[in-house]
């Protein structure tokens, strides 16, 4: 099997060297990936839809070799797992997204967030920075609050959905 990655020509990618893609990923129209700030790693069977922005977040840190104890800005990398779907018009500054995650439309995910596996983020939600989202949970609202629990078999539902999406996808 050939691991094909589908990408549109009108993408806003910066510094392609720092972006790692495993395979079988789909990137649609007007996706912006800021690889010049930090690394971005993708898993397999990832789908990113129109006009999504992937921007690494920064933290203040004191380097070990410094003598003045002055703080320096550091950008943290983004790590995205397998079978992830991100819908349109999202702004993502999270540091880690687990596997089998579904993110709805028009979401804003704050800086240094950690989204664990099998979780769902509803559309039109804003998640504050430095949040830790537990596995098998549903977050939504402004600000994002824990609302429901997902069933134990969400990983299989998400995998079947994305496998069918990759099979039926036709590049123009």
Partner 1 sequence: MYSFTKQLISPVFIQCECGRDFLQEEMYCCLACQISMCRFCTQNDVSLLICRNCHEITQWNDQSFITTCQNCYECPVCKSVLKKQIDQDKVISFYCSFCFYSTKSIDCQDVGIQQLTQKLNQLQKNETENKQYPMWYQSLKDSEAKVIQLKKQKQQKMFLAKVKNSSRSERIRNYSQQEIEINQQQREKQIIFDRYNLQVKESQLNLKDYEYKMAKKPLLIPQHVQLFSKKTRKCKKCQKMIVQIQLDKNERGTKKLVMSISYFHYDYTPFITLQKIKYTNKDKSEAKIMILIQNLTKNQFDCQLLPLQQNILEAFKLVKMNNLPSPIFGFKDINEMESAKGDQLKNQHEFDGVVSVPKDCYHKAKQ
Residues near partner 1 (CB under 8 A) = 110, 120, 128-132, 134, 138, 143, 145-153, 156-157, 160-161
Supply the minimum distance, in Å, between the C-beta of residue 35 and partner 1: 26
The three-point CA angle 24-123-119 to 5° equals 60
Instruction: Say if residues 62 and 69 touch (Cβ distance below 8 Å).
Output: yes
Supply the minimum distance, in Å, between the C-beta of residue 58 and partner 1: 14
Residue 46: C-alpha distances to residues 73, 147, 148, 166 (Å): 30, 25, 24, 9
Cβ proximity to partner 1, 10 vs 68, nearer residue: 68
Question: Considering only CA atoms, which of 54, 44, 58, 146 is closest in space to residue 99?
Answer: 44
Cβ proximity to partner 1, 12 vs 129, nearer residue: 129
Supply the minimum distance, in Å, between the C-beta of residue 119 and partner 1: 10
Supply the minimum distance, in Å, between the C-beta of residue 37 and partner 1: 20
Cβ proximity to partner 1, 4 vs 132, nearer residue: 132
Supply the minimum distance, in Å, between the C-beta of residue 152 and partner 1: 6
Cβ proximity to partner 1, 30 vs 155, nearer residue: 155
Q: Is the peptide bond before 143 cis (omega within 30 degrees of 0)?
A: yes
Cβ proximity to partner 1, 14 vs 66, nearer residue: 66
Separation of alpha carbons 2 and 23, rounded Å: 9
Instruction: Say if residues 43 and 99 touch (Cβ distance below 8 Å).
Output: yes
Separation of alpha carbons 23 and 71, rounded Å: 38
Separation of alpha carbons 63 and 69, rounded Å: 8
């Amino acid at each position: 099997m050939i691991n094909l990655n589908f990408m549109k020509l009108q993408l806003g990618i910066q510094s392609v060297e720092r972006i790692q893609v495993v395979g079988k990923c789909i990137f649609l129209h007007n996706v912006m990936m800021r690889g010049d700030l930090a690394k971005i790693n993708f898993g397999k069977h990832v789908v990113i839809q129109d006009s999504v922005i992937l921007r690494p977040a920064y933290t203040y840190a004191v380097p070990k070799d410094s003598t003045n104890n002055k703080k320096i800005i550091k950008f943290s990398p983004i790590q995205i797992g397998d079978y992830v779907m991100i819908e349109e018009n999202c702004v993502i500054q999270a540091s880690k997204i687990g596997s089998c995650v579904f993110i709805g439309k028009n979401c804003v995910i704050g800086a240094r967030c950690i989204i664990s596996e099998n979780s769902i983020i509803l559309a039109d939600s804003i998640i504050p920075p430095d949040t830790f989202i537990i596995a098998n949970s549903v977050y939504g609202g402004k600000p994002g609050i824990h609302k429901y629990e997902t069933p134990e078999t969400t990983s299989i539902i998400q995998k079947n959905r994305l496998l069918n999406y990759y099979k039926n996808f036709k590049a123009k």
